[in-house]
Structure 1
Amino acid sequence: MRQKKWLLAALPAAILSACTADTAAPTSEDSVWPQLDIPVAQKPAMEQRIDTLLAEMTLEQKVAQMIQPEIRDITVEDMRRYGFGSYLNGGGAFPNNDKYATPQDWIALAESMYQASVDDSVDGIDIPTMWGTDAVHGHNNVLGATIFPHNIGLGAARNPALIEAIAEVTATEVMVTGIDWVFAPTVAVARDVRWGRTYESYSEDPAVVRDYAASIVRGLQGHVDGDFLSEKNVISTVKHFIGDGGTTDGIDQGNTEVDEQTLFDIHAQGYVGGLEAGAQTVMASFNRWNGDKIHGSKYLLTDVLKEKMGFDGFVVGDWNGHGQIAGCTNDNCPQAANAGLDVYMVPTQAWKPLYENLIAQVKDGTIAESRIDDAVRRILRVKMRAGLFDKPSPANRPLSGKTELIGAEEHRAIARQAVRESLVLLKNNNNVLPIKPNQRVLVAGPAADNIGQQSGGWTISWQGTGNSNEDFPGGTSIYDGIADAVKQAGGETELAVNGEYQEKPDVAVVVYGETPYAEGNGDIDNVDYQRGNAVDLELLKRLKEKGIPVVSVFISGRPMYVNPELNASDAFVAA
């Protein structure tokens, strides 16, 4: 735990520091965007193999590689018929639409989809598909998986080696369930903490984001000079390209109004770090840059990312993001392909008309077939680098089905280390902390015994809501952890969420803060905590008035104005 002093707000567990000058520099005065030192070289034999495959593919087969539907919107027979290049489960989507799907259920779906994709009896081709998932703080869609602090907490730790270890654990648990591809890391540089995705940002310091991006990519994919995309690794995705953390007023999917040099210096550094560590995919962002939607920006997706920076993997869209381009709908958008989007993420039933429209648009010349060939070449290149053409099917891979690795004790030990290093001590009058565990300790507050609230958004469900402690097998609430430590030392613990204790305690730990949210649902217009309804502050005051030392544990996904709560506490920990 580290101690810092501020006069105003208690920042949450990723104290966002001022930008430093330690960012990658353009290669020349007249070029903002450098050619990156990308370590994964193209192999002539692989490129020839791709040439041969492309020459054998029909237009329909090529376009199918560019379509990424969601598991709630397709069947195994759809995969057999069309041969989609990839598919995803969005937040809150589970095999059989069952929140309580077991790891075996996830493996069974992965195996069925894979076998359908390589069955050429209907679509005439046997290219393996791949499954992408939002494993953004652990394999957070699967019950029992290890959950880590969100990026904002990890940013406070300032420990790239720990970040790499977290990514390695995540990759392992994802591979246990037969999944190939993770939509992480998010390398947004949050500039306005009213943004609902602030907690997905490691820091407002682009140098921190750059270094962490490299660590996460190496942890997920392996090191390029070592175990790169081995049987224990997954494909990573650096996202969201570009400027998602810089929108005016922190509005999710809004407009990032900055000049080009600032776009590079602040918002591109995560791509410098991630791509130079070998990241194979990049996800386009929902936001605009100076009025233009990124999904439709040929300048950014093709001229900058692919040509100037030298990225030779593929660009995937975000959740029907192509449909937000002017003149587009979810089921009709040649502009995105022409801009350089290689894979359309197209949940809902829009996938089928989109597929049909893209084929027609190539035939009528709206989209050049050479653009389709380039997109499919990139997709096949990544699949070959990941060994998908050669490795066993999902159910037969070395880690598949090793359910003892899901939430394994050694994985949880890394998570506990991450929690410890993410905590920020803002106040400690009279050395209230550390608490002497042989005392009588009251644990109070709405988040005291609520694993879902302490975990935040993107946890089992998309918003992180609708969960109970029973949905976290092996998980530990803050109350559980305190009670265990106090019991071992011979003390006593009482849980009273509302602070109404049975016996006066020696010290009270009050756990409160933001409730879970994700993406735009977390956008706010001010950072004043509980403005107009300061019920948590009243709890702190009631305990203080009774002469009880009060320790606040404040859970949030962003910096907030908590001066009254800070002043009403003897000690204050941002968590």
Structure 2
Amino acid sequence: MKRTKSLIAAIVFTFASVACTQISVKEVQERNSKTLPDIEIWPQLDIAVKKSDDVEARVAAVLTGMTLEQKIAQMIQPEIRDISVEDMRKYGFGSYLNGGGAFPNDNKHATPQDWIQLAENMYQASVDASLDGSTIPTMWGTDAVHGHNNVIGATLFPHNIGLGATNNPELIENIATATATEVMVTGIDWVFAPTVATVRDDRWGRTYESYSEDPAIVYEYSKAIVRGLQGKPGKNFLGDSQVISTVKHFIGDGGTVGGDDQGNNIASESDLFRLHAQGYVGGLTSGAQSVMASFNSWHGKKLHGHKYLLTDVLKDKMGFDGFVVGDWNGHGQIAGCTNDNCPQAANAGLDIYMVPTAAWKPLYENLLQQVKDGTIALSRIDDAVTRILRVKIRAGLFEKPSPANRILSGKTQLIGQQSHRDIAKQAVRESLVLLKNKNNILPLSPNVSVLVAGDAAHNIGKQSGGWTITWQGTNNTNEDFPGGSSIYDGIKQRIEAANGTVELSETGQYKTKPDVAIVVFGEEPYAEGHGDVEHLDYQRGLKSDLALLHRLKADGISVVSIFISGRPLWMNAEINASDAFVAAWLPGSQGSAVADVLFTDALGSMQYNFSGRLSFSWPADPNQATVNVYDFEYNPLLPYGFGLSYGDENVLPDNLSETYEKSITQTSGATLFTGTMQKPWELRVFSGHNLQDITASTATVDNVYYRTVDRVVQEDAFRLAITASNNNSGVQIASKNYFREDMSAQAQSNAVLSFMLKPESAIPNEVLLSMNCETVSDTAGSCAADLNIAEALLALPKNEWSVFTVDVQCFVQKGVTFENMVVPFQLGSKEAFTVSLSEISFTFNQAHEANLSCAD
């Protein structure tokens, strides 16, 4: 452990000398005690991109010729699913975006040419003055957070948590440069990256989007990635192969109470700077041209409406002269605001409203009126538009050819090109952290017999995590990753080249007893909101992966565990059951590189050593979600900076404690859908016997149309639109491969099936809520039941969300056997019906209050 402690000491010194030179320890203590704003905490930054007289003169000239309508349009950023090319021609929006899981033509498998064509069409409409009188080019923003992750075939790099473990800023800059190239091929100008959160509570569902709990790494990485995306200020800054970067989310998103996504950060102002602002210090000094406001609050006030932080601190004191863009309808969360009416955000310093859904149009109209009646000063509008124009001019958007005619546009061979995949493989190798290596079992010889097991072994989507093609990273198959490789692919290639034998079995069943088993398992993909957890106990109450490890160990097989996760988790039992344990994080599309480190060559020579080191402390119990380096009391299982290399003495025994004080109440019931499907359930739309899996944000089958929508947060609900048909049509939640699941607990304790719904049309005469434990058809059998809930739905308000509950005894009495559940939820109709649904689950002790009760 001496090497680890030395590393920590070195990093503490680096952080103290580099990131916090502005204030002394005494000043930190004094300012921690203050409750009033203290602007002197914040530095005046030496920003690499300086104001230029030429640029400012051009900005002023363009601004002078603009109407108020044109100015407001520059401040509106709609989403591609909610505007048309004609809308762009009419309004001349300053920018637009594709949200996670949004694609040209609503097609998940849109080609790079489809992306280019949409970019070209939107650009040409924006410079067409025939309707709006404006020739100002628009710009397209996208979430390219670990590569150009919305585009099929792009190189997907490890998520930020894995990159933090490499502690290699030069590698990060190379990754950003490669990402910028692939983005520019599709004609897109702007990426919403990097995320520079310093995570203090690992229960947060965006922990994997953070490089480290240590502000020093965040500071250095932010500088590097901004340089890689935009280029270094000078001759080639924001040139033909660079994109506009966005440091996000300003500020404190990684420090909310309880790790609550979009929650409240109550840090002192000095800690807000010392811990949470270092990514902005790094990124802005490198010349980042945009900053995204955060969903979270600071001491109860939402950042989208926080004038002190957005204007007084960020713009005036720190000297940021680019623009501040909002996050997905984040302005609507400000007290007194809605998605379509929020002058408070502009007055606070927001320059661009990110406003997906149809709310963009009334927001546009309201902002116009609010300037005319003096609610928003014209000078504030002019300041916002000046900042937008300044960035567009710096980026050369007025001079660059249209998207289809730019230097890199259409060179699709650059998307997923080998040099980029080689960078990704390097990142995978350097991000792996070896936590346990009993008896130096690693590295393995490739000429042995190996069993590869676990549901992440041959699953590129699972190893890539959230923000992977779809927003949550779900509903992807290996076929969605041309040019990618699974962890199994690399193992197989290594072993077969050395004349060893390899067998793949997700469940760990084998034909011939192997010499060693490599088990690849971990968290299911998730993104913001849906990734929040109550505790860090891996698979609490399920422990199916632990059962697999125990079964292999009982057979006398040595076990090497490869753990896929977006955060450190408490898994002492799984570590105990492993001879070697590797934290692989979320390695992205090039999983084969894991084998480069695990195996020697055929002659026994080491190829690559383990060099990754923990950038997050590893918890000693499930409640230790807030253990962070530099804490006054610091007792993790494994400290920040820990990581074994080959030949190091193993430090983790086989008898780590597997018990703890359960201070966290486990949620009762069974959750089916919370914006993402919960394992083992899958979502399908159906029309009669014709079913289609949901693999994107939209889907159509015969007379049924499905689309994700927002209820509280992004895509936490879906809309179902059914046109009249002879078939019962709708949506179905079913077990994977229609395997019978034991849900006997949900038939007891006065449980109800609960879901939120919003009727958006007239209620048909028949709306069938169904369960099925025998067949997958819509015809009730001896173990299936339908309830017509139409009459009960009539009592609910139209176009408003309501909770609807049904006593499960209604289904039990009709013959449904919960011990063999196949379809726990199905909603359908033969008549035309449009409804939105969210939060589908079973809950206990609610039957007496159910909307539909079947009590004897």
TM-score, normalising length from structure 2? 0.65
CA 1:75–1:412 in 2, change beyond 3 Å: closer, same or farther? same
CA 1:18–1:463 in 2, change beyond 3 Å: closer, same or farther? farther
Residue number in structure 2 paired with 1:332: 341
1:502 counterpart SS class: coil
Residue number in structure 2 paired with 1:308: 317
Residue number in structure 2 paired with 1:431: 440
Query: How do 1:156-175 residues align onto structure 2 when only pairs under 5 Å count?
Result: 156-175=165-184
Residues 1:380 and 2:389 are matched in the alignment: yes
Residues 1:196 and 2:191 are matched in the alignment: no
1:515 counterpart SS class: coil
Residue number in structure 1 paired with 2:134: 125
The answer (yes or no) to whether the contact 1:186–1:239 under 8 Å persists in 2 is yes
Residue number in structure 2 paired with 1:298: 307
Deviations 1:408-456 (CA, angstroms, capped at 9, x unpaired): 0111000000000000001111221111000111000011110000000
Residue number in structure 2 paired with 1:45: 54
> Aligned partners of 2:444 and 2:13: how far apart in 1?
33
Residue number in structure 2 paired with 1:98: 107
1:278 counterpart SS class: coil
CA 1:432–1:27 in 2, change beyond 3 Å: closer, same or farther? closer
The residue type paired with residue 363 of structure 2 is: L
The residue type paired with residue 553 of structure 2 is: K
The answer (yes or no) to whether the contact 1:5–1:427 under 8 Å persists in 2 is no
The residue type paired with residue 188 of structure 1 is: A
Residue number in structure 1 paired with 2:96: 87
> Aligned partners of 1:168 and 1:45: how far apart in 2?
28
Residues 1:421 and 2:437 are matched in the alignment: no
Deviation at 1:98, TM superposition (A): 0.2
Q: Flag the structure with higher helix content.
A: 1
2:140 counterpart SS class: strand
Residues 1:495 and 2:504 are matched in the alignment: yes
1:21 counterpart SS class: helix
The residue type paired with residue 488 of structure 1 is: A
> Aligned partners of 2:110 and 2:140: how far apart in 1?
17
The answer (yes or no) to whether the contact 1:238–1:271 under 8 Å persists in 2 is yes
1:505 counterpart SS class: coil
Residues 1:25 and 2:10 are matched in the alignment: no
Unaligned runs of 5+ in 1: 7-15
The answer (yes or no) to whether the contact 1:239–1:283 under 8 Å persists in 2 is yes
The answer (yes or no) to whether the contact 1:117–1:126 under 8 Å persists in 2 is yes
The answer (yes or no) to whether the contact 1:17–1:205 under 8 Å persists in 2 is no
> Aligned partners of 1:17 and 1:74: how far apart in 2?
49
Query: How do 1:345-356 residues align onto structure 2 when only pairs under 5 Å count?
Result: 345-356=354-365
Deviations 1:105-161 (CA, angstroms, capped at 9, x unpaired): 000000000000000011001000000000000000000000000000000000000
Residues 1:68 and 2:63 are matched in the alignment: no
CA 1:17–1:574 in 2, change beyond 3 Å: closer, same or farther? farther
Which has more radius of gyration?
A: 2
Residue number in structure 2 paired with 1:12: none
Deviation at 1:5, TM superposition (A): 8.5
1:117 counterpart SS class: helix
Deviation at 1:55, TM superposition (A): 1.2
Residues 1:440 and 2:435 are matched in the alignment: no
> Aligned partners of 1:138 and 1:207: how far apart in 2?
23
> Aligned partners of 1:332 and 1:110: how far apart in 2?
29
Residue number in structure 2 paired with 1:469: 478
> Aligned partners of 2:131 and 2:475: how far apart in 1?
41
Residue number in structure 1 paired with 2:466: 457
> Aligned partners of 1:519 and 1:18: how far apart in 2?
33
Residue number in structure 2 paired with 1:398: 407
1:521 counterpart SS class: coil
Deviation at 1:17, TM superposition (A): 9.3
Deviation at 1:18, TM superposition (A): 12
Deviations 1:361-380 (CA, angstroms, capped at 9, x unpaired): 00000000000000000000
Deviation at 1:27, TM superposition (A): 7.0
Q: Flag the structure with higher strand content.
A: 2
> Aligned partners of 2:255 and 2:269: how far apart in 1?
13
The residue type paired with residue 555 of structure 1 is: I
Residue number in structure 2 paired with 1:13: none
Residues 1:552 and 2:561 are matched in the alignment: yes
CA 1:173–1:3 in 2, change beyond 3 Å: closer, same or farther? farther
The residue type paired with residue 22 of structure 2 is: P
Give the ranges of 4+ consecutive aligned residues of structure 1 lying more than 4 Å apart after TM superposition.
2-6, 16-20, 27-30
> Aligned partners of 1:497 and 1:296: how far apart in 2?
49
> Aligned partners of 1:245 and 1:363: how far apart in 2?
38
The answer (yes or no) to whether the contact 1:92–1:461 under 8 Å persists in 2 is yes
Residues 1:520 and 2:516 are matched in the alignment: no
CA 1:249–1:566 in 2, change beyond 3 Å: closer, same or farther? same
CA 1:502–1:17 in 2, change beyond 3 Å: closer, same or farther? farther
Among the aligned pairs, what percent are the same residue? 73
Query: How do 1:257-272 residues align onto structure 2 when only pairs under 5 Å count?
Result: 257-272=266-281
The one of 372, 379, 390 equivalent to 1:370 is: 379
2:16 counterpart SS class: coil
The residue type paired with residue 218 of structure 1 is: R
> Aligned partners of 2:279 and 2:266: how far apart in 1?
19
> Aligned partners of 1:438 and 1:131: how far apart in 2?
50
Residue number in structure 1 paired with 2:227: 218
Larger relative contact order (C-alpha < 8 A, sep ≥ 6)?
Answer: 1
